Structure 1
Amino acid sequence: MPLGTPITSTAPAAPGTQRPPEYYADKTLRYQDYTYSPDVRSVQCYMATGQPNEVFQPAVVPLGQSSAITLDFDVLGDQSQRYTAKLIHCDVDWQPSLLTDMQFLTEINEFTVTDYRVGTGTKAPYFHYRLRAPNVRLSGNYLWVVQTPAGVPLLSRRLLVYESRVNVSLKPGIVIGGQERFTLQQLDFAVSYGNVELVNPVVEVKTVLRQNFRWDNARYGLRPTFVRDAERRLDYQYFNFENAFPGLSEYRFFDTRSLLSVGIGVLHVDPRAAPVSTVLLQPEVSRNGTAYNQYVDANGQRVFESREYGNGATNADYADVTFQLKAAQPAPGPVYVFGALTDWQLKDEFRLRYDEAKQLYTGHALLKQGYYNYDFAVAGASGTAPNETYFEGTHYETENQYDLLVYYRPPGTRADLLIGYQAVDMNSRQ
């Protein structure tokens, strides 16, 4: 089987499928968005709305609507497999809570994945799987795990179920600083709890602030700067950039929805290549230090589609996509392609190699046909967020989405409830 070769195989892998085995070798369940098999591709977890581009909606729903959360993924290979899924209730820090299954579910916590279809008319053989989340009793953090019959995890995705028990006010703020006011985006927020009895809100209310629904650079541990007891309100207004994010630039993009013609961002396509078509993207350059360039992007996301055959779920093929980045000198650390296509992680298969003679970074990955957003990130010290500003620059004018999660654990209980949620657009183009 040319694609989806197990990592233990000694057979040579097809172009675009070579992946370092260490990333997939450890099958220990991680309480984060993660893929445990090199055969699993094109994972999307979102709130189904029935509207165009619903895949851009995050996996965040009100209590009572968790069945709207949908999980799509492909498994490379020419044989369908039997998979099951389960939910794990987690605390605010994404560790398993002490709740039993029946305390947050009304049914047995094992759901067979029965909705699957074979890829049609594609060079790369694959099966496309889809499932909906079950209804849950409690708000909070949930980890959705798909696993084999032997209990080996295949993939995991985070999803959020919230209640509107407190009023959340999230709005763009003004950065107090010098040069920072041109590069950072600040979010001020407040939590009003007049309708709910919170015993010790200053200590027990916990907040998480996210940019573009990412977890890798989320702001944790933000404490209220003002406590208004009479108004039953917590204000969060900081002056040392604790609640500020680099605005970055609008995401780079390319279009491979057609493999018979050259899409935007693409330099060359070879549909006759074997075992899969090859795509060479246009050479990119650093945008650090350049003026802000306004255009509409998808905030790092991607959508799968085939212009020739229609349905992206089962008609879109896979291609070996080569990225190019011009650089006069090597970056201060390893360089990666970064975005939703990498689960917002620095994955080895998306690492670029530098050719000093050509002054060019290149790398390739196996990707499904579609429209993609991405940027280039430089790895820093272990435990630090990737440095996206090195090649992308940062501007306060950039359009980004932010959301705020408000958690509370009632005294004597064993679960962190998600009691408030709000999302806001910064520099919306609507």
Structure 2
Amino acid sequence: MPRYSLLASLLLGAVACVPLGTPITDPNAARGSQQRPPEYYADKALRYQDYIYNPDVRSVQCYVATGQNTDIFQPPVVPITQQQPIVLEFDLLGTNSERMTAKLVHCDADWKPSVLTDMQFLNEINEFLITDYRTGVNVKVPYYHYRMQVPRVKLSGNYLLVVSGAGNVPVVSRRLLVYQNDVEVAIRQGIPVAGQERYTLQQVDFSISYGGSNLVNPSQEVKVMLRQNFRWDNAKVNLRPTFVRDAERRLDYQYFNFENAFAAGSEFRYFDTRSLRVLGAGIAQLDPAASPRAVVLSPEATRNGQAYSQFDDINGQRIFESREYGNGATNADYANVTFQLRAPSAAPGPVYVFGALSDWQLKDEFKLTYNEEQKQYTGAALLKQGYYNYQYVVGKTTGAPDGVYFEGSHQETENQYDLLVYYRPPGTRADLLIGYQMIAVNSRRP
């Protein structure tokens, strides 16, 4: 999935709050008449993760502003120099804007708030008024689009950006990473030591050289985290080195029981709603007269058990854009998008639409309902105009959802992986992010 060349081609083409079309419990109900799901948004307690606390907050994007068309694909990870800032954007549905403020919370490696005071990681007061907001133009679903640039920090590590509205109640939070290259990270694709697993898993081997850093007891004190496509829900944590080479001042991580292996999955499914006048890719029906506009995706089927199919995708992300008017930030409208997944029998758990569109979470509003007579899962969600990647997953009681049940898994799939290396120097009170590295597996970029 050469995301950058794909994005370039994509962009060349390029009084009360309205009711959200969620959750999807009755696919036969009139579009726009469903009630908002109370469960997900009921608890306003701050969570130290990517989270949306207000059902009117939609289309959240957090990325590094590099000045390129591929900005929105850059995860919120920056070096300590922070020459290119992290940007947060989101929509607030409705005809009235709200006063929004933001703050940063420094966190430990395990995403618990650290004991540092604000002035130990900031040079300014830790409250930032968001003044950049604009109303949606020529849209049936009214909204205000908010944008802010995250201020510079003094320390590397984990940060939680928290945006609050009236009454200082959080409305959205996002995880940010600031790193310093104190160690040298070597990361490469490995081969799973097994039989059939080598055809379905992708293994990432890596080593950490610390010759230029005075690390105390690195085999125990260095913490690493391995992510696939910048997701947090299935990240590999608490990985310990398999070899400690004191003479060479290097830690090697090469496992034999799949501790550092991920299900490779398949290339993401996609649909295109950048135009709400003509049918885009993956669209079966379009009703531009409805309010909100209504889109029905083409019926789909399981891909598990099928041969690998190669095509470009954007690793589960999405692009907001309007082909008719451009500038997806304020000119893109919202539409009720109906998903259809054929299945001969019900899955062994609840089925969800999954990806960046759901914050990589199992949200009630993206939960599908199975119709035994039609042998089909159906559901609808209110989504902003754009180009979307997604997949169907089966929820589990613990751990990451099962994406293989409907999507299958092929080692040929293109995925991105990144490694986070943390260390807390003796006598300090904060975990520093002392190393960061990315790798694209099966990249098809020239």
Q: Provide TM-score, normalisation by structure 1.
A: 0.97
Residues 16 and 366 of structure 1 are in contact (CA less than 8 Å); yes or no, is this contact kept in structure 2?
A: no
1:123 and 1:14 mapped to 2: Cα distance? 14
Matched, 1:414 2:429: yes
In structure 2, the CA distance between the partners of 1:55 and 1:420, relative to structure 1 (3 Å rule), is same
- Counterpart of 1:366 (choices 353, 364, 382) is 382
- Structure 1 residues 340-379: aligned runs within 5 Å: 340-379=356-395
Assess if the C-alpha contact under 8 Å between 2:19 and 2:33 holds in 1.
no
Q: Describe the superposition over 1:14-71 as per-residue Cα deviations: whole angstroms up to 9, x where unpaired.
A: 7176321121111000000000000000000001111113101100000020761000
Give the equivalent residue in structure 2 for 1:269. 286
Code of the residue aligned with 1:56 in structure 2: it is F
Instruction: Kindly indicate whether residue 409 of structure 2 is the aligned counterpart of residue 397 of structure 1.
Output: no
C-alpha RMSD over aligned residues: 1.5
Contact 1:248 1:393 in 2 (8 A): yes
| 1:92-107 superposed matches below 5 A | 92-107=109-124
> Are 1:3 and 2:17 counterparts?
yes
What is the aligned partner in structure 2 of residue 387 from structure 1? 402
Listed as ranges, the gaps of 5+ residues in structure 2 are 1-14, 21-28
Q: Does 1:130 align with 2:144?
A: no
Aligned equivalent of 1:305, options 321, 324, 331: 321
Q: Tell me which of 48, 54, 58 is aligned to 1:41.
A: 58
User: Aligned residue for 2:220?
Assistant: 203
Write the deviation string for residues 369-415 of structure 1: whole angstroms up to 9, x where unpaired. 0000000000112x221000000000000000000000000011110
AA paired with 2:352?
Y
Residues 272-326 of structure 1 show CA distances to partners (whole Å, capped at 9, x for unaligned) of 012x100000111000000000011000000100000110000000000000000
Q: Any conservation in 1 of the 2:185–2:437 contact (CA below 8 Å)?
A: yes
Q: Residue type matched to 2:419 in 1?
A: L
Question: Contact 2:17/2:95 (CA < 8 Å) preserved in 1?
Answer: no
- Contact 1:66–1:133 under 8 Å retained in 2: no
**1:5-20, aligned counterparts within 5 Å?**
15=32, 18-20=35-37
CA distance in structure 2 between the partners assigned to 1:258 and 1:17 by the alignment: 24
8 A contact 1:122–1:317 mirrored in 2: yes
Q: Determine the C-alpha separation between the residues in 2 that align with 1:233 and 1:245.
A: 24
1:285/1:340 CA distance change after superposition, 3 Å:
same
1:324 aligns with 2:340: yes
Kept after mapping to 2: 8 A contact 1:53/1:303: no
Cα distance in structure 1, aligned partners of 2:34 and 2:222: 45
- SS of alignment partner, residue 219 of structure 2: helix
Q: Is the 8 A contact 1:317 1:369 kept in 2?
A: yes
Q: CA deviation at 1:148?
A: 1.5
1:3 touches 1:14 (CA, 8 Å); kept in 2?
no
Query: Compared with structure 1, are the counterparts of its residues 152 and 238 closer, same or farther at alpha carbon in structure 2 (3 Å cutoff)?
Result: same
Q: Decide whether the 8 Å contact of 1:303 with 1:372 is kept in 2.
A: yes
Helix, strand or coil for the counterpart of 2:205? strand
Point out the more displaced range, 325-334 or 57-66: 57-66
Cα offset, 1:5, TM superposition:
5.8
Counterpart in the other structure of 2:10:
none
The answer on whether the counterparts of 2:228 and 2:416 sit within 8 Å (CA) in structure 1 is yes
Q: 1:74 to 1:202 in 2, by over 3 A?
A: same
- Aligned residue number for residue 201 of structure 2: 184
Alignment partner of 2:294 out of 278, 283, 294? 278
Match among 43, 48, 58 for residue 31 of structure 1: 48
**Per-residue Cα deviation, 1:404-430 (whole angstroms, up to 9, x for no partner):** 000000011110000000000000001
Q: How does 1:73-112 map to 2 (within 5 A)?
A: 73-112=90-129
State the shift of 1:262 in Å: 0.1
State the one-letter code of the partner of 1:3.
C
3-state secondary structure, aligned to 1:199 = coil
> Is 1:377–1:387's contact at 8 Å kept on the other side of the alignment?
yes
Contact 1:85 1:113 survives alignment (8 Å):
yes
* Number of the residue aligned with 1:256: 273
Write the distance in 2 (CA, Å) between the matches of 1:127 and 1:298. Answer: 26
- Aligned-partner Cα distance in 2 for 1:286–1:393: 8
- Between the aligned partners of 2:344 and 2:426, the Cα distance in structure 1 is 58
> What amino acid sits opposite 2:348 in the alignment?
P
- 1:9 is matched with which residue? none
Q: Distance in 2 between matches of 1:53 and 1:320?
A: 27
Distance in 1 (CA, whole Å) between partners of 2:156 and 2:30 is 44
> Does structure 1 retain, via aligned residues, the 8 Å contact 2:334–2:385?
yes
SS of aligned partner of 1:333:
coil
Aligned CA distance change for structure 1 residues 16 and 133 (closer, same or farther; 3 Å): farther
Q: Distance in 2 between matches of 1:33 and 1:4?
A: 24
Name the amino acid aligned to 2:235.
Answer: A
Once the two structures are TM-superposed, the CA of residue 150 in structure 1 deviates from its matched residue by: 1.6
SS of 2:401 mapped into structure 1? coil
Residues 67, 134 of structure 1: 8 Å contact kept: no
Cα distance in 1, alignment partners of residues 133 and 201 from structure 2: 44
Note the C-alpha offset of 1:13: 10
Q: Distance in 2 between matches of 1:339 and 1:18?
A: 23
Partners of 1:149 and 1:77 in 2: how far apart? 15
Partners in 2 of 1:17 and 1:117 — Cα distance?
Answer: 28
Deviation at 1:89, TM superposition (A): 0.2
Instruction: Letter of the 1:257 partner, please give it.
Output: R
> Aligned pair count?
424
